[in-house]
């Protein structure tokens, strides 16, 4: 006995699923649904799109107009198109563009049922644009800030290296937080003889920046709160974080406990020191009991380039300053055994004694 397929109850073709042929099944079970017209509100400064509960920003560098509109439409459709099945691919075709109205075609391709072949659907859509100012741009243009980050150095100005490094940290972390924290912006950045000041929208961002700069430069941190007003019966505070970088930088001379040392490098782990009396290296970290007693001795510029004039066992080595031709003496055991007459060495005078030091480094 042969069973004939039942006819589709809508068109009479051979039915394949639930009494319908493939094409009638697809018409009865569309892939997507999209209402028309749709409204979209965008920020005229940064291109962000208004979504329920806030604004969704365009991340990365602001694209050119056509790409910006495309990305804004993607955001709009992401929240406005209802998907009835999964695995649907959507593409857009622009049909007509006026100043604030865009006519597009939304194409969808996919399967209405996993036993059926893929098919295409197409819907006309009118999008009406309106422009506004997002919360972030509004606060920024109004000069709003909730925290201040101040960076100073102890008894000196910030070095170029320090300023550059700090600006890089501030820029990178702000870009990373953009779009996640509505107040993640720098309202103003200023530089004067005392150091750097940043006025920041978000206290959270300010704290993140301060923590990273503190760790990078082993700086001292002080946090202050200032009452700036009241809102809804609650006191409103503004946070100021002051970071003070050490007097010393890489290459400078410091005393750790009783030992005169040269700083070879500074990092989150601590200070790597060259012990001038022992000609050895060690690292001291902020948790060490000796940390608080670190004393600044001399800047790296105090080191002098000299030439070895004579060395004799059991006698101090005789050196000549390459700039002033002054003769000076260094205990022989402090010099490298390879340093022969005519070799160039660097020395520094501390407590009226000369010590050999590694070649000075710049930071």
Beta-carbon contacts of residue 75 (< 8 Å; ≥ 6 apart): 49, 51, 56
Label residues 118-139 b or e (16+ Cβ within 10 Å = b). Answer: ebebebebebebeeebbebbeb
Nearer to Zn ion by C-beta: 140 or 241? Answer: 140
Beta strands of 212-343 (E only): which ranges? 220-231, 234-245, 253-256, 259-267, 270-275, 280-284, 295-298, 304-310, 317-321, 327-330
Minimum gap (Å) between residue 80 Cβ and Zn ion: 21
Q: How far is the CB of 50 from Zn ion (least distance, A)?
A: 10
Q: Least CB distance from residue 64 to Zn ion, whole Å? A: 17
Minimal distance, residue 178 CB to Zn ion, in Å: 11
- C-beta of 1 vs 64, nearer to Zn ion: 64
Judged by beta carbon, residue 11 or residue 309, the one nearer Zn ion is: 11
35: nearest Cα among 111, 106, 119: 106
Nearer to Zn ion, 135 or 212 (CB): 135
Cα gap 57→78, rounded to integer Å:
14
Tell me the closest approach of the beta carbon of residue 48 to Zn ion, in angstroms.
5
In whole angstroms, the minimum distance from the beta carbon of 24 to Zn ion comes to: 3
- Residue with Cβ nearer Zn ion (41 or 255): 41
* Three-state secondary structure call for residue 207: helix
Nearer to Zn ion, 133 or 363 (CB): 133
CB-based contacts of 258, cutoff 8 Å, min separation 6: none
CA distance 138 to 132: 10
Q: How many contiguous H segments (helices) and E segments (strands) does the chain have?
A: 5, 23
List residues near Zn ion by CB under 5 A.
Answer: 8, 10-11, 13, 21, 24, 43, 45-46, 48, 134, 137
């Amino acid at each position: 006995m042969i069973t004939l397929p039942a006819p589709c109850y809508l068109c009479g073709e051979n039915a394949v699923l639930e009494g319908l042929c493939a094409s009638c099944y697809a018409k009865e079970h569309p892939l997507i649904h999209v209402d028309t017209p749709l409204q979209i509100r965008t920020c005229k400064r940064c291109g962000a799109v208004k979504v329920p509960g806030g604004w969704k920003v365009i991340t990365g560098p602001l694209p050119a107009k056509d790409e910006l509109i495309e990305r804004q439409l993607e955001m709009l459709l992401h929240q406005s198109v209802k998907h009835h099945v999964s695995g649907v691919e959507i593409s857009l075709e622009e049909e007509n563009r006026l100043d604030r109205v865009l006519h597009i075609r939304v194409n969808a391709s996919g399967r209405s049922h996993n036993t059926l072949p893929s098919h295409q659907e197409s819907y006309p859509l009118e999008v009406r644009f309106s422009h506004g100012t997002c919360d972030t741009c509004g606060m920024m243009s109004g000069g709003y800030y909730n925290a201040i980050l101040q960076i100073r150095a102890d008894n000196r100005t910030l070095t170029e290296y320090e300023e550059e490094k700090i600006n890089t940290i501030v820029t990178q972390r702000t870009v990373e937080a953009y779009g996640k924290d509505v107040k993640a912006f720098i309202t103003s950045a200023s530089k004067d003889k005392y150091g750097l000041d940043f006025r920041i929208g978000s206290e959270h961002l300010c704290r993140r920046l301060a923590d990273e700069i503190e760790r990078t430069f082993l700086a001292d941190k002080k946090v202050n709160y200032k009452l700036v007003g009241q809102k809804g019966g609650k006191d409103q505070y503004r946070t100021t974080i002051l970071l003070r970088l050490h007097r010393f930088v890489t290459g400078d001379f410091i005393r750790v406990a009783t030992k005169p040392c040269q700083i070879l490098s500074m990092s989150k782990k601590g200070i790597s020191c060259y012990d001038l009396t022992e000609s050895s290296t060690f690292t001291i970290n902020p948790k060490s009991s000796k940390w608080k007693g670190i004393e600044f001795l001399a800047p790296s510029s105090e080191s002098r380039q000299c030439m070895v004039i004579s060395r004799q066992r059991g006698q101090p080595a005789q050196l000549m300053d390459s700039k002033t031709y002054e003769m000076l003496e260094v205990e022989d055991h402090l010099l490298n055994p390879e340093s022969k007459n005519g070799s160039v060495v660097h020395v520094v005078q501390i407590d009226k004694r000369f010590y050999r030091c590694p070649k000075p480094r710049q930071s």
